[in-house]
Amino acid sequence: MAVSTVLAGARVVLPTGIVENGRVIVENGRIAGSAPADAPALDLTGHWVVPGFVDMHNHGGGGASFTSGTVDEILTGVHTHRLHGTTTVVASFVTGDTDFLGRRAGLLSELAEQGEIAGIHFEGPFISPCRKGAHDETLLRDPDPAEVRKLIDAARGQARMVTLATELPGGIDSVRLLAEHGVIAAIGHTDATYEQTRAAIDAGATVATHLYNAMPGLGHRAPGPIAALLEDERITVELINDGTHLHPAALELAFHHAGPERVAFITDAMDAAGFGDGRYMLGTLEVQVKDSVARLVDGGSIAGSTLTLDRAFKRAVTVDRLPVESVVQAISANPARLLGVYDRVGSLEPGKDADLVVLDADFELKGVMRRGTWVVPPQVG
């Protein structure tokens, strides 16, 4: 028999807008359109119910690395982010030897097939040494389409995105290859000009990897990749809204030019997310996390983040003063569409997985449900 639960009284964010005193009906792990009269109800008056968060760029958490961790460690990292509202996560790799990355992709593809992760993102090794950030320069390579294809094949249909410096030799051909295979080609860690970036977009690139970071700044005579990525309606821009990677004015500029329909909030999280300060390894490089900011021990470059998406959500609403509906679009619907899973997640519509987050009036996380099961039982009353 169907088991139904009604979440009642909250402000519910739907694709059509905010519903006051709304009802979300959960039945057998999915959002339902109606419920029996005697279905148990949970009073969420004074709270928000929003779709589960979708993180398309995440390197780990809970002390675990998606690039190098064991299966159990990877699952720990995934669960850490679920505790913070991320019900759908893509596992991102940092730069490594291509044979090593291929083996890791084979391992993580099994977790994707089991539904634990939503696929694999290769951030490197096909990036610019001029904009390497926290990537090992000795392992960087030009984006040879044959090597790109090798990694895609190793992922057994679970490759979702590859970040490329598309101005490098083989970059444009690799973008075309990715587009042909239904894999997102993301422009990032790039030293490209405005014109080179436009060429990559025309070839099929659709995402800007953490816009502003690891790319030339916006110039009045040399606008570079930022202008090209913001102005083109075919591009969705990733933003790391942790207060460290972006000045609020830069975030406002992105929302003004791209609009909420072309922004995807990400964490770019590393092992320390949800775990604490200390020393960690990011790929082959040592990282010091202090006051929740991750930097390379050698050189001091920012090395990913310790962000969780519940913090990104609250900051977007309370500090950046963005409308709640726009934040939901950027943190759930947009990445779900890009990943090709919007038919299942990303909004609270009947028939979709019952992935949702309960927030209080101050936008503090109070409950997380994934596929109809409480990961964080609601703390209300």
Distance CA 141, CA 147 (A): 9
Other beta carbons within 10 Å of 376: 18
Distance CA 217, CA 203 (A): 23
Distance CA 127, CA 295 (A): 19
Collect contacts of 320-323 with beta carbons under 8 A, ≥24 apart.
Answer: 320/241, 320/248, 320/251, 320/252, 322/255, 322/260, 323/260
Distance CA 188, CA 133 (A): 11
Rg of the chain in Å (alpha carbons): 20
Distance CA 379, CA 297 (A): 39
38 is catalytic: no
Give helix 224-231 / helix 248-258 axis angle, nearest 10°: 40
Give 329's contacts (C-beta < 8 A, 6+ positions apart). 260, 261, 263
Q: Which of 55, 268, 310, 355 is catalytic?
A: 268
Cβ distance 93 to 131 under 8 Å? Answer: no
Give 114's contacts (C-beta < 8 A, 6+ positions apart). none
Distance CA 46, CA 57 (A): 32
Query: Tokens representing 2?
Result: 């169907």
Other beta carbons within 10 Å of 217: 10
- How does strand 4-14 pair with strand 41-43? parallel
Torsions phi, psi of 110, nearest 5? Answer: -65, -40
Query: Tokens representing 72?
Result: 């159990």
Residues serving a catalytic function are: 268
